[in-house]
Structure 1
């Protein structure tokens, strides 16, 4: 064998090995990938926007609107707190959710089973003693 032919074979063998090393096989390509993991903290908020307080249907008084946001994967409860002993028999209406207050100082206004963003109108129908407190607090409690 001539010296030049041996050199050509050696170079082509080296190029073939380089191509195998650089180009991954189908099995290698499937095994390669990215494993990206992200942790997002649970964040919930409710913001009330008062409006004029006009009378609505069935004697309900408009309390404005509120925007609720919660990214809790298990959902959340929207809880209203008020002075214990007050608002007995008053009805709160938030969108399609209605709750009659019993004077305990706390009631669950709504319950969701996943994350949600929404804006709703809130209104109240006074109980036997009218509106005998000046404060209602809305809280979102992640589940």
Structure 2
């Protein structure tokens, strides 16, 4: 995979994250793999799977995963930074599957815009001519 990532890299990494998050949701969370009798308070000392369950529930509360994706998407869109765009896109995929879709959708799309824009810039604009815009239209200057 080249430095820019490319469309194949974007699709490949996105598919792996999507598969992992779908597996987490349907094979673990909704299948009841975590114990149902966890102590209600973190101060009571949750152990093992109860601690993992508590951490996952905290990510869903107030759509925190979606807010993270939105914040990363805004940072990526405002600054054009690809690492923030990748993080916003991947956390957006996770948020869309894991109950935080309101904000995750916007964050994912802002991040995807940055990834697509930087991909077009990485190609060097080979589709465009190097002259003035009017050169391709054969328009003469006004006299």
TM (norm. structure 1) is 0.22
Higher helix share: 2
Structure with bigger gyration radius: 1
Higher strand share: 1
TM (norm. structure 2) is 0.22
